[in-house]
Each structure stands twice: as structure tokens, then as C-alpha cells.
Amino acid sequence: GDSVTQMEGPVTLSEEAFLTINCTYTATGYPSLFWYVQYPGEGLQLLLKATKADDKGSNKGFEATYRKETTSFHLEKGSVQVSDSAVYFCALSAPSAGGTSYGKLTFGQGTILTVHP
Amino acid sequence: KAGVTQTPRYLIKTRGQQVTLSCSPISGHRSVSWYQQTPGQGLQFLFEYFSETQRNKGNFPGRFSGRQFSNSRSEMNVSTLELGDSALYLCASSFYLDRPYEQYFGPGTRLTVT
């Protein structure tokens, strides 16, 4: 079945450091890929997305490129801020058997990011 | 545009009881998916509804059920609660019928079973 593997955390960085969170996936077919972020006590917020090979999703300084050859979708940010402290989830959406539904997201285990001033 | 709303936000139930959680999607969104989030298992897909029909289902026992109404609002029900059902239950809505199928999440309902 489909699966997503994220680098283990937690990740602790100083403000303005470079961030990389690795994500690799296994899926049948051609999935769409997402990064979601969860702040304490809140639901998930969509951070960025990509739907085909070599697509680059970007938002709020975060970027990720859909690499089909390495089945990866690594999240990067050039200069993190304290406000980026949160849990980050990589996820994929692939069609169900029969292709009638894309409504199931398969998530990685999440990576806790803490940024210190 | 208002986001996805979930009620109640917090719930405490006793083992053996049943519970109903409610989700109102973003206006215009017709698809609703439900997820369970626990520290041990992470985020797991429960089911998806579109136009009042269940289109996809995760690997959960039959005690977990759901439905969707004609206004796209959705409810999920858990019968005969077990301690392991304690979790954050997240609802997500989507407008699109196919890719990229962005899902927008509500704040969740925190269920504690004692």
C-alpha cells in the first residue's frame, strides 16, 4: 500500500538556519504530494503542494520539489524563524482502487521542529 | 470564507458509551474526510464522503461510522468506546473531485475515553 517516510525528529535549529526535512514515498500510480504544518492545539494547515514530476511547491519561504526518480519531496527553507516551530507532515494523495476517490491522505509520522532565537 | 468547523472541541466519555462528532465543511466543498490522530499511530484515514455517499474507507473496526447530509455537513459516530479511541479527530473538506485534491482541516475534536 501507499506509505510516506519522514526523517525522524525532533529537529532543533537556531533562528536563520537552513532547514531540510526529508520525505520519501511509496505509491502505486501517480500521487499528489503535500506538506502540512500543525501548530500546538490546532488542526493541520496546508503549506504547499505538487502534482507532477519536477513541480516545485512553495509558500512562506518553504519549498519542496516532486522528484519522481527518487520518490522524494523534501521540505526546505533557507532561513527559519522562531514562528516556524511546529510539527510538519508530508502526505500523499493517490486514487483509490477503481480510481473514484482521491480523498485519502497518507501521512508520514511528522517531524517536530523547534527554532531557538 | 469561514473555515472547517468541528464540534465539540473537547469531549470526555466513559468506556462503553458512544459518541457523535460533527463537521461543517467550507462553503461549497462537497467532500469530507475524517482522520484519527494519536501519538502512537499518527494520522490515520477513517473515511471520506461525497454527495452523501461513502467513497473510501480506512482500516478501522465497524464501531466507527459516518454519514454526510445534503448540505455536506458530516458526522462520525463511535460506538462502544474503548480507551484506545482517545485521540484527536480531524475533519477535512475539499472542493475538487480529482487532483490535486487539496484538503482543508478543521481544528479537531479532542476525545478522551476514561
Chain segment B60-80, per-residue pLDDT in tens: 999 999 999 999 999 999 999
Residue A4 has pLDDT above 70, yes or no: yes
List of chain B residues whose C-beta atoms are within 8 Å of the C-beta of residue A27: none
List of chain A residues whose C-beta atoms are within 8 Å of the C-beta of residue B45: 104-106
Distance in Å, alpha carbon of A109 to nearest chain B alpha carbon: 6
Q: Which of B48, B50, B104 sits opposite A104 (nearest CB)?
A: B48
**What is the Cβ-side half-sphere exposure of residue B57, based on CA atoms within 13 angstroms?**
12
Which of A44, A87, A106 to mutate to probe the B interface, most B CBs <10 Å?
A44
SS3 of chain A: the string is: CCEEEECCCCEEEECCCCEEECEEEECCCCCEEEEEEECCCCCEEEEEEECCCCCEEEECCEEEECECCCCECCEEECCCCHHHCEEEEEEEECCCCCCCCCCCEEECCCEEEEEEC
Query: What is the C-alpha to C-alpha distance for residues B21 and A26, in angstroms, rounded to an integer?
Result: 32
Q: Which of B4, B48, B106 sits opposite A103 (nearest CB)?
A: B48
Q: Which residues pair with A27 in a beta bridge?
A: none
**What is the Cβ-side half-sphere exposure of residue A38, based on CA atoms within 13 angstroms?**
25
Contact of A77 with A63, CB cutoff 8 Å: yes
pLDDT, tens only, B6-56 = 999 999 999 999 999 999 999 989 899 999 999 989 999 999 999 899 988
b/e per residue B64-81 (b: at least 16 CB within 10 A) = bbbebeeebbbbbebeeb
pLDDT tier at B101, thresholds 50, 70, 90: confident
Q: Provide the residue type at B84 as one letter.
A: G
pLDDT, tens only, A12-32 = 999 999 999 999 999 987 889
Residue B98 has pLDDT above 60, yes or no: no
Contact of B33 with A103, CB cutoff 8 Å: yes
Distance in Å, alpha carbon of A35 to nearest chain B alpha carbon: 11
Say whether B105 and A109 touch across the interface (CB within 8 A). Answer: no
Say whether B50 and A103 touch across the interface (CB within 8 A). Answer: yes
pLDDT tier at B96, thresholds 50, 70, 90: low
Say whether B99 and A93 touch across the interface (CB within 8 A). Answer: yes
Task: Please report where in the chains the cell 459518541 appears, as a residue.
Answer: B19
Q: Which of B55, B58, B90 sits opposite A100 (nearest CB)?
A: B55
List of chain A residues whose C-beta atoms are within 8 Å of the C-beta of residue B103: 46, 93, 103, 105
For B85, phi then psi, to 5°, come to -85, -5
| B102: contact with A, CB 8 A cutoff | yes
